Structure 1
Amino acid sequence: MPSAGKWFLLSALIGIVAGVGAITFQFLVQLVQFLCLGHIAGFPAHDAHADYSPFPEVEGIFSPWYLLLVLTVGGLVAGWLAWQFAPEASGHGTDAAIDAFHNKRGEIRFRTPIIKTIASAVTLGTGGSAGREGPIAQIGAGFGSCLATALKLSARDRRILLAAGMGAGVGAIFRAPLAGALFAGEILYSEAELESDVIMPAAVASTVAYSIFCFSLPPEFRFMPLFGQDLHFDFQSPAELLPYTVLAIILSLGGILYIKVFYGIEKLFHKMPGPGYLKACLGGLATGLVGLGLYFAGNRDVALLSALGGGYGMLQTAFSDIGSVTTSALLAVALAKIVTTGLTIGSGGSGGVFGPSMVIGGCLGGAVGKQLHSIWPALIHQPGSFAVVGMAGFFAGCARAPFSTILMVTEMTGSYRLLLPAMWVSTLCFLLMRRWTLYTKQVPTRLESPAHRGDFIVDVLEGMHVDDVYQKNRKLHLVHEGTSLNDIVHLLAETPQRYFPVVDHQEKLLGIFSAEDVRSYLYDDTIWEIANARDVMNTRVITLTPEDDLNAALTRFTALNIDELPVVSPEDSQKILGILRRKETIAAYNRRRLEHMLTE
Structure 2
Amino acid sequence: MRFSTSFVMYSCVLGLIVGVGAALFLTLVNFLIEFVWVSIPHMVSIPFYPILVGLFGGVLVGLVQTKLGNYPITMHETLSEFKQKGRVTYQDQIGKNFLAAVIVLMFGASLGPEAALSGILGGMITWMGDHLKLTLKNKERLLKLGIGTMLAAIFRAPLAGIGEAFEEHNYPTIDNRLKRILLYGLSTLFGLIGFLSVKRLFPEESVFTLYFSKTIVWKWQAIVLVPLAFLVGGLFGILFLKIEMITDELARKLNHPILAALIAGLCIGVFALWSPYFLFSGEHQLFPFSKEAIQFPLFNLVLLGIGKATLTNICFSFGWRGGKIFPAIFSSTAIGFAVVQLFPYTPELIVGVVVATSLTMILNQPYVSAALLLLLFPLQVFPAILISCLSIKKFKDHIMKID
Which amino acid is 2:323 matched to? G
For the structure 1 residues 321 and 36, does the alpha-carbon distance in structure 2 shift closer, same or farther, using more than 3 Å as the test? Answer: closer
Aligned to 1:251: 233
In structure 2, C-alpha distance between the alignment counterparts of 1:270 and 1:198, rounded to whole Å:
40
Checking the alignment, whether the CA contact within 8 Å between 2:110 and 2:279 is kept in structure 1 is yes
In structure 1, C-alpha distance between the alignment counterparts of 2:25 and 2:216, rounded to whole Å:
35
In structure 2, C-alpha distance between the alignment counterparts of 1:435 and 1:71, rounded to whole Å:
42
Aligned to 1:157: 138
In structure 1, C-alpha distance between the alignment counterparts of 2:249 and 2:399, rounded to whole Å:
16
Alpha-carbon shift at residue 112 of structure 1 (Å): 3.4
2:397 to 416, 421, 434: 434
Please identify which structure carries the higher helix content. Answer: 2
In structure 2, C-alpha distance between the alignment counterparts of 1:429 and 1:110, rounded to whole Å:
41
1:130-141 equivalence runs, <5 A: 130-141=111-122
Aligned to 1:104: 85
Alpha-carbon shift at residue 166 of structure 1 (Å): 0.8
For the structure 1 residues 200 and 64, does the alpha-carbon distance in structure 2 shift closer, same or farther, using more than 3 Å as the test? Answer: farther
Residues 517-536 of structure 1: per-residue CA shift (max 9 Å, x gap): xxxxxxxxxxxxxxxxxxxx
Aligned to 1:178: 159
Checking the alignment, whether the CA contact within 8 Å between 1:225 and 1:412 is kept in structure 2 is no
RMSD, aligned CA = 3.2
2:195 to 213, 217, 222: 213
Does residue 334 of structure 2 align to residue 363 of structure 1? Answer: yes
Does residue 364 of structure 2 align to residue 397 of structure 1? Answer: no
The answer to which structure, 1 or 2, has the higher relative contact order (CA under 8 A, 6+ apart) is: 2
Residues 176-219 of structure 1: per-residue CA shift (max 9 Å, x gap): 12223423663899xxxxx9575444322221121111112338
Alpha-carbon shift at residue 64 of structure 1 (Å): 6.4
User: Normalising to structure 2: TM-score of the pair?
Assistant: 0.85
User: Normalising to structure 1: TM-score of the pair?
Assistant: 0.59
For the structure 1 residues 109 and 416, does the alpha-carbon distance in structure 2 shift closer, same or farther, using more than 3 Å as the test? Answer: same
Aligned to 2:173: none
In structure 1, C-alpha distance between the alignment counterparts of 2:125 and 2:195, rounded to whole Å:
18
1:299-310 equivalence runs, <5 A: 304-310=275-281
Does residue 173 of structure 2 align to residue 202 of structure 1? Answer: no
1:30-45 equivalence runs, <5 A: 30-40=30-40, 42=41
Alpha-carbon shift at residue 221 of structure 1 (Å): 5.8
Does residue 310 of structure 2 align to residue 339 of structure 1? Answer: yes
Aligned residues: 393
For the structure 1 residues 261 and 307, does the alpha-carbon distance in structure 2 shift closer, same or farther, using more than 3 Å as the test? Answer: same
Alpha-carbon shift at residue 133 of structure 1 (Å): 2.3
Percentage identity across paired residues of the two chains: 20
Residues 254-296 of structure 1: per-residue CA shift (max 9 Å, x gap): 111111111321222123233x34432332223323443xx1x
For the structure 1 residues 342 and 434, does the alpha-carbon distance in structure 2 shift closer, same or farther, using more than 3 Å as the test? Answer: same
Q: Gaps spanning 5+ residues in structure 1: where?
A: 43-58, 190-194, 296-303, 374-379, 438-443, 445-600
For the structure 1 residues 329 and 271, does the alpha-carbon distance in structure 2 shift closer, same or farther, using more than 3 Å as the test? Answer: same
Structure 2 SS opposite 1:89:
coil
1:80-95 equivalence runs, <5 A: 80-87=63-70, 89-90=72-73, 93-95=74-76
Checking the alignment, whether the CA contact within 8 Å between 1:113 and 1:135 is kept in structure 2 is no
Structure 2 SS opposite 1:217:
helix
Aligned to 1:425: 388
Alpha-carbon shift at residue 404 of structure 1 (Å): 2.0
In structure 2, C-alpha distance between the alignment counterparts of 1:76 and 1:428, rounded to whole Å:
44
In structure 2, C-alpha distance between the alignment counterparts of 1:419 and 1:288, rounded to whole Å:
37
1:549-568 equivalence runs, <5 A: none
Which amino acid is 1:399 matched to? L
Residues 31-82 of structure 1: per-residue CA shift (max 9 Å, x gap): 2212211133x4xxxxxxxxxxxxxxxx578866211111222233234335
Alpha-carbon shift at residue 333 of structure 1 (Å): 0.8
1:327 to 282, 293, 298: 298
For the structure 1 residues 367 and 63, does the alpha-carbon distance in structure 2 shift closer, same or farther, using more than 3 Å as the test? Answer: farther
Residues 337-359 of structure 1: per-residue CA shift (max 9 Å, x gap): 11101111111112100011001
Residues 497-552 of structure 1: per-residue CA shift (max 9 Å, x gap): xxxxxxxxxxxxxxxxxxxxxxxxxxxxxxxxxxxxxxxxxxxxxxxxxxxxxxxx
Aligned to 1:459: none
